[in-house]
Structure 1
């Protein structure tokens, strides 16, 4: 019986020493492993746009104001500025995605204010995005009055362009001021506009 007790104690000792040896080796292996690389912090802003796809001006307008928007966009393009106008989004593209991409890659925003403007939910979203870009990215936001409507508070604090009843000469002067404001005094057409 004494042999059996000694055998059990020897077996238990062997089992315990094997277990503690395993624990010691496992701890050393864990200490030798290099730490997992830390995840890079998420960027606060999307990467800078590709200069080839960046726009100088994003023109926002309600569908009812497509005519005046087109005239303003054409005038800006004649001055050599790259202009985003949603009417110029090509076939097969998703309009909302193209607008979002253009908003991120545009230096300045122009929003036409008329009776139809703030009734359009998509234009309200563009207004909010243009304001945010003006506040956080140093971009210029230019409100353009084309109807006798009150401007929302954050548009009202900016000097608006007034195209309501200025006549041909007054309109040309206002558009020339817009070109200087958003283009830094861009000269004649250099082919920089986008169709």
Structure 2
């Protein structure tokens, strides 16, 4: 083999090595991305939920973090963000609200500016009064609660990572646990 052929062989081998190396790197990044993304628990279609979480779109990250923590404690959670493709969000929310033992409303500066959340607030209050369900306001920002939320003991989750946050979250988990007299 001449010098030109060796140069061609070395060039081809180098190109193949670069392509394989890039493929391995891309596969590794995709695998890390998939494992780093929080998995959404499957929706409990047609079943009962322990907790319905209402939240404004601006608070979706805080709501999803809260839902993940409650779900990790074994609670069945309804979170609108977890509604699957092809489903009608308002119908899924209505069915979940009807079958949830408890309701949480995440309060921030965005909460009461959202008409859909105001409707959910009214429905959660109605369920608390007529269905014996618990309604718990959860603070994620320093805001004044509306009157009917203010009369309930809120859970303060404004300082993630702190000891008071962890204590409040543990108290919330205990409050949301299914009661033995619930049907």
TM-score of the aligned structures, taking structure 1 as reference length: 0.67
Structure 1 consecutive aligned stretches of length 4 or more whose deviation exceeds 2 Å: 165-168
- Rate the CA distance shift 1:146–1:85 in 2: closer, same or farther, 3 A: same
Cα distance in 2 for partners of 1:166, 1:76 equals 14
What 5-or-longer segments of structure 1 have no aligned partner? 1-49, 186-195
Matched, 1:74 2:68: yes
Question: Among residues 116, 127, 146, which one is paired with 1:133 in the alignment?
Answer: 127
TM-score of the aligned structures, taking structure 2 as reference length: 0.71
Measure how far apart 1:168 and its partner are. Answer: 2.4
Matches within 5 A, 1:21-100: 53-100=47-94
Measure how far apart 1:173 and its partner are. Answer: 1.1
What 5-or-longer segments of structure 2 have no aligned partner? 1-43
Question: Among residues 145, 155, 176, which one is paired with 1:161 in the alignment?
Answer: 155
Q: What SS does structure 2 have at the residue aligned with 1:109?
A: strand
Structure ranking higher on relative contact order (CA contacts 8 Å, 6+ apart): 1
Deviates more, 1:133-142 or 1:51-60: 51-60
Count of aligned pairs between the two proteins: 137
Measure how far apart 1:149 and its partner are. Answer: 0.9
Cα distance in 2 for partners of 1:77, 1:114 equals 22
- Rate the CA distance shift 1:107–1:51 in 2: closer, same or farther, 3 A: farther
CA contact (8 A) 2:105 2:137 kept: yes
Cα distance in 2 for partners of 1:176, 1:163 equals 11
